[in-house]
Amino acid sequence: MTMPQPAHKRILLKLSGEALMGDDQFGINRATIVRMVEEIAEVTRMGVEVAVVIGGGNIFRGVAGGAVGMDRATADYMGMLATVMNSLALADAMNKAGLTARVMSAIGIDQVVEPYVRPKALQYLEEGKVVVFAAGTGNPFFTTDTAAALRGAEIGAEMVLKATKVDGVYSADPKKDPNATRYSHLSFDEAMGQNLGIMDATAFALCRDQKLPIKVFSIFKNGALKRVVMGEDEGTLVHV
């Protein structure tokens, strides 16, 4: 009997730093990160090539008070370092789970992680390794959403998966409006017209221009990542 094949062979998974906190106020919740790694391992065993971009809000939140009044570029570089810390934690959990993970940084920290080099990243993906892109784009004033769109386009990902705490894009805040409905799919123009705020404007425009679909789904739903890569009706698809 032939096993069902994934609908997507190469994906870019965008994780927020806050997703790693679990129920904690900041930092990394070990049980949460282990469960996420299990979801990623499941799809890699199916032959899906996975790259990850992760934010740093969970780490930076712990020092945010000291950043008040700080120069924006300096604060952004601190945020980039927070993403490196998260990337190392995620890669460590992946390696302990039997995956082979490589962290590549957009800023030079050669003693800690290797620099981002596109051909090397593509080689790692083709070898079945999970590549974690750290330090955003390497530039202040650009978010990790933009880094996800940029790296997704560079590596030829078939889709950017934005993993959130909500299982898709809704017509209104589902926590405040019980009648809010989840969109199964939206065009980029529809999402922009309704000002749904799926990603920051730069990231969203890049995905639209590169015809790179975005899938918004909940990383906290068991098996959701697998259902997404299998092409099932999970989350919200944003497309051209």
Q: Which of 215, 218, 216 is nearest to 165 (CA)?
A: 218
Please tell me whether 141 is known to bind a ligand.
Answer: yes
CA atoms within 13 A on the CB side of 219: 25
Please tell me whether 74 is known to bind a ligand.
Answer: no
182-183 and 169-170 beta bridge pairing: antiparallel
Please tell me whether 32 is known to bind a ligand.
Answer: no
Please tell me whether 144 is known to bind a ligand.
Answer: yes
Token pair in block for residue 15: 């994780």
Please tell me whether 76 is known to bind a ligand.
Answer: yes
Cα–Cα dist 72/163, whole Å: 26
Contact 163, 218 (CB under 8 A): yes
Q: Residue 28 to residues 35, 86, 105, 232: CA-CA distances in angstroms?
A: 12, 8, 20, 30
Topology given in CATH for the domain delimited by 10-239: Carbamate kinase (3.40.1160)
Please tell me whether 146 is known to bind a ligand.
Answer: no
Going from N- to C-terminal start, the domains of the chain cover 10-239
Q: How would you write the pLDDT of the chain (240 residues) with one tens digit per residue?
A: 556 789 899 999 999 988 888 777 778 888 899 999 999 999 999 999 999 999 998 887 656 555 667 888 998 999 999 999 999 999 999 999 999 999 999 999 999 999 999 999 999 999 999 999 999 999 999 999 999 999 999 999 999 999 988 899 998 888 888 888 899 999 999 999 888 889 999 999 999 999 999 999 998 899 999 999 999 999 999 998
Please tell me whether 44 is known to bind a ligand.
Answer: no
pTM above 0.85, yes or no: yes
Please tell me whether 2 is known to bind a ligand.
Answer: no
Please tell me whether 164 is known to bind a ligand.
Answer: yes
